[in-house]
Structure 1
Amino acid sequence: MIIQRISIALLFAVFSCTAAAEERPSTEMPVRHAELLENHCFDCHDSATKEANIDLESLSLNVAENMATAELWSKVLGALNSGEMPPEDSEPLLDADKLAFLEDLSQKMVTARQILSDSGGDIVMRRLNRREYANTVEALLGVRPDVTTLPDDQATSGFDTAGASLFLSSDQIEQYHATAIENLKLILLPRKRPAAKTVRIEPEEYYTPHYADAAEQMRDIGKRANAFLSQSEKPASEFGLLDEYQAKKQKVQKWLPLMEDYLSRPETQTGIMLIMTIKQGGYTKVKLPTQHPDADGKYRVKVRAAMYPDADERHHYLEFSSGFGTGRKLLGWRKITAPMEDPQTIEFEFTHEPGAKQQVWIHQRSHQDRGDKNLATLDMWDNGIGTPPGIWIDWVELNGPLPSDQTMAIQTARDSILFEQSSDLDESEYAHEIIRRFVIRAFRGSQPSDEYLKRLGRHFQTARDQGQSLTEALVSPLSIVMASPSFLYQVEQSNSENGRDLSPDELAVRLSYFLWSAPPDEELLRLAESGRLSDPAILASQTERLLQDPRSSAFIEGFVHQWLQMERLDMFQFNGVDFPNFDNAVRENARQELFQTFAYLLKNELPLDKLLKSDFVVINDLLAGYYEIEGVAGHEFRKVSVPQNSLRGGLLGTAAVLAMGSDGQRSSPVERGAWVLRHLLNDPPPPAPPNVPQLSRLAGKILPARELARAHQEQPQCANCHQKIDPIGFGLENFDAAGRWRDQEVIGLGKRRYGRWDDEVRFDIEPSGMLPSGELFSNFFELRDAVAEHGDEFARGFTEALIAYALGRPYGFTDQELANQICSQAKLHDHSIRQFIHALVQSSKFQTR
């Protein structure tokens, strides 16, 4: 339906968190617009004519009267936005009339969409999303399953906890069943795990002779190519060549100087120098022994290394990654600071998942795609040998597999399933008891019926009759349990049209999935079983316990990622030549900066508005290098004070937020401005209209961002939104697409070879603008200050997002009083993030179905 193009917008963005209960906003179009429809539309779309089966004469001015009315108004909005209506042979609309009509209708449609999607507080019984399912399986079995083949949980809007978006089909049930079988076999069936051992790798034993061979091959083919080209009698085949084209291509071995430089250095006889080689993505790297499926556990890596002082600072970091082929998972980074004459030994740990095959590599910091290769080629043009080395590695030691938290969790899970059989239980009774206990754990404390247990018992017996061992036969019934609705869903019985209080067990489940994205632990279930969890004081203490537990990181990352729409951080590739420092390391650590900053505020009970502006950042050494902040050593994230005039301190100065407001090449004032309105000012703009007209008169022109935006505002259907959005984005234009400060916008011209443009044009940046509420600003610092004055609006938007995430449904009109109560309570405690969470958990809506 067309109305689905309208995103779910947050209501009452203009009201502060302490506002009293509001009246339902009007969705009635002003009567003056009825005259516009009559004068320009009724010739074709009145009740008699109904061209295209559209009757505007009978159309209610109440946009939200019902879904059909809203759909028709949405068609009107789309037709006017696209310029389709009125048709060319009709009297045109005056720009002022069109702008006023579109502005009113856009806002009414936002409100209508909110009201019509409001569930009235009803919470849909929902399937576990991918994150919750993985955590639930891990809590039950100690094994973290591969969820990449399971249903995608990305909701069309809102959060991945929204029940209405979490569908389940018969095919998907089969996927869950297959995943359950795979993971049950890992913990129940005997596996021969290898003993821990230490492997020492001397990289020069492979790389030095390998590069010597490569250099000799380059010399040889170059000589043969030149020999062939210097004569005309003999065919190319006699020189070991295909044809003249290959000979011309091979006569100059442009990467040979790099190989010869590598081999000429004495340190390459006792270690490896990390460089970028001829192949795409072909940086030198140390390959660790492959970890096979039964070799799960923790591995400890030791690296003795030193850095070359003249190298770029980013090349002083080792990058650890895993994967085969093109697929790679980034594991972490460590900075090397020791000089060549006194190398240092650094340690790094990684965990190998059971059942997987893993290959781990050690190499220099890298870009996506061809970034490093292009940079090395450009360096070769300048210096003849390519990108200078940053790190030398003497040796590497790998020790493992060692017992890990996961190893112990798997053993604990296995012991809890295959508990010691007492003498008074025969095999059938023992299997029945195993299944019964497993079902109770899998169903989060719910008791199974006798009939259900009997059916599972029959599956066990069938497998035994087929010759399977006791543990093998248990896989069948237990996998059925893990593919059943009571496991895959958060089950809350609904026995009344008017709702009811959650049972203590249901409350325990809702609380743990809210704050851990995982099932309740034994303590929570014990309190639920005793009925004490419903006591407000006990519930508050358990909320606090869950927040202090490391498992609360699932809430922080799951909520913050979706609340701030961080999926945009992975949408675009940043060209390594234009943004040499914005590599994989910065992208991943910038993501963590937002999580770690939120976690720091939560842990230390600091105000939410520190996300708008603060005198500190939460970073590590890698981001400190990117932000040019001195005095930060070590990969751990920590609070770092910054001066008042610092560019950093608050979301608007973070690399993640600024990179999300770009397309990987140019900054986007529109994306950045809309993001600020949506997430910081709680004043989300209406969705972009369909069929926005192309600005053909600008085709092929190189213009600064402000001039491009001004051209959009010439269109009435565009001006409505861009007048609010663009000025905010202009205030962030001093940051390039990757979040680094600049005084001019630089745009490449001509052809591009290896990422370098033939020419460029520069535009001075004009960072002044105005917030929708009227505050003027002349630069980024004044913009940040102005946004920071809207702490109440920010808190309100945060509250509405928190409600939607926790309750598993879109925030609706009926939640306004709840949002008021939460905001009011949090404001009494200086908007501490913990207080928002406590107020929500203590509310009746959180505790009712």
Structure 2
Amino acid sequence: MSFDISKDIETAEKWAKVLGAINSGEMPPEDSQPLPDADKAAFLQELSGRMVTARKILSDTGGEITMRRLNRREYANTIEALLGVRPDVSDLPDDQGTAGFDTAGASLFFSSDQLEQYLATARRSLRLAISTKPSGKSKTVRIEPEDEYNERYAAAAEQMRDSSRRAKAFLAQSERPASDYGILDAYSAKKKQHAEWLPLMESYLARPETKTGATLIMTIKQGGYTRIRFPVLHAHDDGEYIIRVRAAAYPDAEDRLHYLEFTGGQGKTRKLLGWRKVTGTLDQPQIIEFPISHGLGQQNQIQIHQRSHQDRADKNLATIDMWENGIGTPPGLWIDWAEMVGPEAKQGDADSLCDFHYGDVRQDLRRFATKAFRGTAPGEDYLDRLVFHYQAGIDQGLPPDEAIIDPLAIVLSSPSFLYLVESKTEESSANKTLTAQELASRLSYFLWSGPPDEELMRLAREGRLSDAHVLQKQTERMLSDRRADRFVRHFVRQWLEIERIDMFQFNGVQFRKFDNAVRANAREEIYQTVHHLIDEKLPLGRLLQSDFVVINDLMADYYDIAGVEGYEFRAVPVDDDSIRGGLLGTAAFSAIGSDGVRSSPVERGAWVLRHLLNDPPPPAPPNVPQLSRLAGQHLPARALANAHQEQPQCFQCHQKIDPIGFGLENFDASGQWRDEEVIGIGKLKYGKWTREKRFAIDPQGTLPSGESFADFLELRESIALQEDAFARGFTEALIEYGLGRPYGFTDDPLAESILQQTKNKQYPISEFIHALVQSPSFQSK
């Protein structure tokens, strides 16, 4: 067999089978002379490396860009820009399931079923847009929470007392059955006699401040949190609203319960909207304002409550607190009143379908289709068919605003709308320059994940967008626009695998501080840090190590950084010896490199190799033998990782991966610093282990380059010196995301050109973007 694995698919497939057979222990056969472990490890290391190279070479498109469909989020943004309606895209393909970035055209498939889904989604959105009425007059809805909770909690307390009396009466005799006392059985009576949550209700009712407001508590038996609920906002209640709350904080409560949590949605599909810290006191409450935007066609009920965890963590915590103090989790906040003011008209640039004149439907359809097709006018035959559909509806007795829906839905389900069409000519398409309108679309979907605005299209029509100076100015303008937030979120999320932070449920008892607020704000910290680097034109290397962190008050509390007030994210200085400053010190990174319970040196080490050092390890083989001999043992992370290195087929990768992960072990799964690794054992009750083992953490290790480090700070400093490798990996990811295809070997000259242009300026992120946009590759089909 040829060892030139990259020469063709057939050879690569044969060697993939060889790799699998050796990894699984099938080869050499049992009746043959065994392969020495050292030889086996060396061969597998060589073979794995060649397989990675072959995969890159054989998947290289040679720079060809597949005409791609709008992914789900781009489709939603485009419909919203066109109609002013945010469509429900839950029935459309989830493009996040594809490999690589969700902008890769070769992975964005299309089927006849999807066409029906696009038509249905378009019809729903159009009906909303056409039937839109001007937002109603702004009004104020005020809630006095004591009117609801005092009566309900008083009734609950009396019910508990009555149940306790009946349970005790039943247990005090043996002649009458439990049903005579309104009780199910003896087991139920034993539980009810103690009325364990009655002290919480009585404590609430005894507080003088609950006569004029509501204390936010976890009630366990009475529906969970004390929640302030506003009336439901319906489909045509769209607009901007302000929520105002007069609140005070209890000084003796834990810090995380000094935040109001705002959620929206309905039923179980609730969405976290944001948090505000309360610093007012019972003597001097403060008024907090929280803006919300309610979209056309949505159903939404805004609620206010204390910070929450996933799943049953809050109830488990309340139960544990009740065992300790007899009441439950002490309240953190008191609310005097809450009000919702609105709606005010939303600011937007979407065309109104009310501008349809219906007297000249053909012209209206031409105008709509041209904008939907991003500047490309529809053909006359196409318009004939659209007018035919409209007239058919009129002939059936439909009013004009109903008859127009089908032809418009056809426009919004056409290839010219659903695809970023880049026209082909008879000449070779290789390196063929994009038209000005095509360049406008490619730039807009790159930086805004949506269609170009009028200024961009005007410059394209005038033929000025292809001018390098004009293009640079427009790129700078677009990066300064609020819509550039889409680029930051979606590129960074996929590049750094930020979605992993949501893959695991964290034990709320074990990680009491790592609640929904920290999870969401830890993710936001990464995005806002990248925004800061772009806005301030700072070097990309500040993501490896920096003398600042970009945080708000909530994350400052989590990191124990003093002096940060307000929910806005901003750069906050930190000392050189701070464990924060750079991606490795963020809570998001620690959570990504864990399973929600324990940190994973393997996951963390592999993440660093992939994303920071641009030296990704080969994919883990699917048939590596399990370490069954360690089942049931409670071992520290280093011992578990070292056990993998005993297998020759594992040693080749783990010798590079694991030492980096060891240097990060001082961070637990939630990103909090620790000197010992604590492993829960024994019996698990309410999320808490009855026993535990503790192991001292040894953070020493060695980088693949051979450089050793003694602790996390030395590891971070060593990685920060690898800025060139980090910049190379970032460049390859940016090319892949921006061009909508996998990075290949033929892209090496482009990557080198971008790196040369940015290195002299210390690698500012914005310069990477400018260099890519100005390149012939970005401006070619």
What TM-score, normalized by structure 2, do the two folds share? 0.98
1-structure distance, mates of 2:343, 2:491: 34
1-structure distance, mates of 2:680, 2:76: 45
2-structure distance, mates of 1:506, 1:77: 45
Deviations 1:739-790 (A, max 9, x none): 0000000001100111111111100000011111111100000000000000
Return 147-156 or 470-479, whichever deviates more: 147-156
1:471 maps to a residue whose letter is D
1-structure distance, mates of 2:142, 2:3: 77
CA contact (8 A) 1:317 1:333 kept: yes
1:142 match:
84
1:321 maps to a residue whose letter is T
2:649 maps to a residue whose letter is Q
Counterpart selection for 1:763 from 695, 715, 720: 695
Counterpart selection for 1:153 from 85, 95, 105: 95
2:603 match:
671
2-structure distance, mates of 1:232, 1:130: 66
Task: Say if 2:746 is the partner of 1:814.
Answer: yes
Specify whether residues 315 and 712 from structure 1 end up closer, same or farther in structure 2 by C-alpha distance, changes over 3 A only: same
1:3 match:
none
1-structure distance, mates of 2:221, 2:740: 48
Return 175-184 or 802-811, whichever deviates more: 175-184
1:316-715 paired onto structure 2 within 5 Å: 316-406=258-348, 409=349, 412-415=351-354, 417-418=355-356, 421=357, 427=358, 430-495=360-425, 496-715=428-647
1:108 match:
50
1:827 match:
759
Deviations 1:385-427 (A, max 9, x none): 0000100000011112222225xx45x4335x42xx5xxxxx5
1-structure distance, mates of 2:220, 2:583: 40
CA contact (8 A) 1:279 1:373 kept: no
Q: Return the offset for 1:241.
A: 1.6
CA contact (8 A) 2:85 2:297 kept: no
1-structure distance, mates of 2:429, 2:522: 46
Q: Return the offset for 1:323.
A: 2.4
2:43 maps to a residue whose letter is F
CA contact (8 A) 2:135 2:344 kept: no
- Per the alignment, in what secondary structure is the counterpart of residue 624 of structure 1? helix
- Per the alignment, in what secondary structure is the counterpart of residue 126 of structure 1? coil
Counterpart selection for 1:843 from 726, 751, 775: 775
1-structure distance, mates of 2:537, 2:709: 31
Q: Return the offset for 1:315.
A: 0.2
2-structure distance, mates of 1:192, 1:282: 38
CA contact (8 A) 2:64 2:430 kept: no
Q: Return the offset for 1:817.
A: 0.4
Return 722-731 or 155-164, whichever deviates more: 155-164
1-structure distance, mates of 2:184, 2:106: 62
- Per the alignment, in what secondary structure is the counterpart of residue 257 of structure 1? helix
2-structure distance, mates of 1:157, 1:213: 55
2-structure distance, mates of 1:344, 1:414: 44
1:479 maps to a residue whose letter is A
- Per the alignment, in what secondary structure is the counterpart of residue 92 of structure 1? coil
CA contact (8 A) 1:678 1:684 kept: yes
Counterpart selection for 2:9 from 62, 67, 73: 67
CA contact (8 A) 2:431 2:777 kept: no
1-structure distance, mates of 2:742, 2:456: 27
CA contact (8 A) 1:302 1:347 kept: yes
Deviations 1:131-187 (A, max 9, x none): 111111111111111222211112543100000110111111111111111111112
Q: Return the offset for 1:189.
A: 2.2
1-structure distance, mates of 2:139, 2:681: 56
Q: Return the offset for 1:192.
A: 7.2
CA contact (8 A) 2:610 2:617 kept: yes
- Per the alignment, in what secondary structure is the counterpart of residue 404 of structure 2? helix
2:715 match:
783
1-structure distance, mates of 2:447, 2:536: 17
Q: Return the offset for 1:704.
A: 0.7
1-structure distance, mates of 2:265, 2:444: 33
Count of equivalent residues: 779
2-structure distance, mates of 1:186, 1:532: 37
Q: Return the offset for 1:97.
A: 1.1
2-structure distance, mates of 1:622, 1:640: 13
1-structure distance, mates of 2:599, 2:749: 39
Deviations 1:629-661 (A, max 9, x none): 000000000110111111110000011011100
- Per the alignment, in what secondary structure is the counterpart of residue 138 of structure 1? helix
CA contact (8 A) 1:662 1:737 kept: yes
Q: Return the offset for 1:246.
A: 2.1
Task: Say if 2:210 is the partner of 1:244.
Answer: no
1-structure distance, mates of 2:453, 2:484: 13
- Per the alignment, in what secondary structure is the counterpart of residue 315 of structure 1? helix
Question: Percent identity of the aligned residues?
Answer: 64
2-structure distance, mates of 1:583, 1:155: 27
1-structure distance, mates of 2:65, 2:659: 39
1:267 match:
209
1:347 maps to a residue whose letter is E
- Per the alignment, in what secondary structure is the counterpart of residue 86 of structure 1? coil
* Runs of 4+, deviation exceeding 4 Å: none
CA contact (8 A) 1:321 1:360 kept: yes
CA contact (8 A) 2:135 2:345 kept: no
1:40 match:
none
2:71 match:
129
Return 786-795 or 354-363, whichever deviates more: 354-363
1:204 maps to a residue whose letter is E
CA contact (8 A) 1:280 1:373 kept: no
2-structure distance, mates of 1:278, 1:246: 17
Task: Say if 2:156 is the partner of 1:211.
Answer: no
- Per the alignment, in what secondary structure is the counterpart of residue 405 of structure 1? coil
2:289 maps to a residue whose letter is E
Q: Return the offset for 1:88.
A: 2.4
Task: Structure 1: state its 5+ residue gaps.
Answer: 1-58, 422-426
1:34 match:
none
CA contact (8 A) 2:132 2:236 kept: no
Q: Return the offset for 1:193.
A: 4.7
1-structure distance, mates of 2:223, 2:780: 54
Deviations 1:470-508 (A, max 9, x none): 222111101110011110100012332534111111111
CA contact (8 A) 1:375 1:577 kept: yes
Specify whether residues 281 and 814 from structure 1 end up closer, same or farther in structure 2 by C-alpha distance, changes over 3 A only: farther
Return 81-90 or 472-481, whichever deviates more: 81-90
2-structure distance, mates of 1:782, 1:664: 26
2:729 match:
797
2:418 maps to a residue whose letter is L
1-structure distance, mates of 2:757, 2:404: 51
1:696-775 paired onto structure 2 within 5 Å: 696-775=628-707
1:468 maps to a residue whose letter is L
1:170 match:
112
What TM-score, normalized by structure 1, do the two folds share? 0.90
Task: Say if 2:176 is the partner of 1:234.
Answer: yes
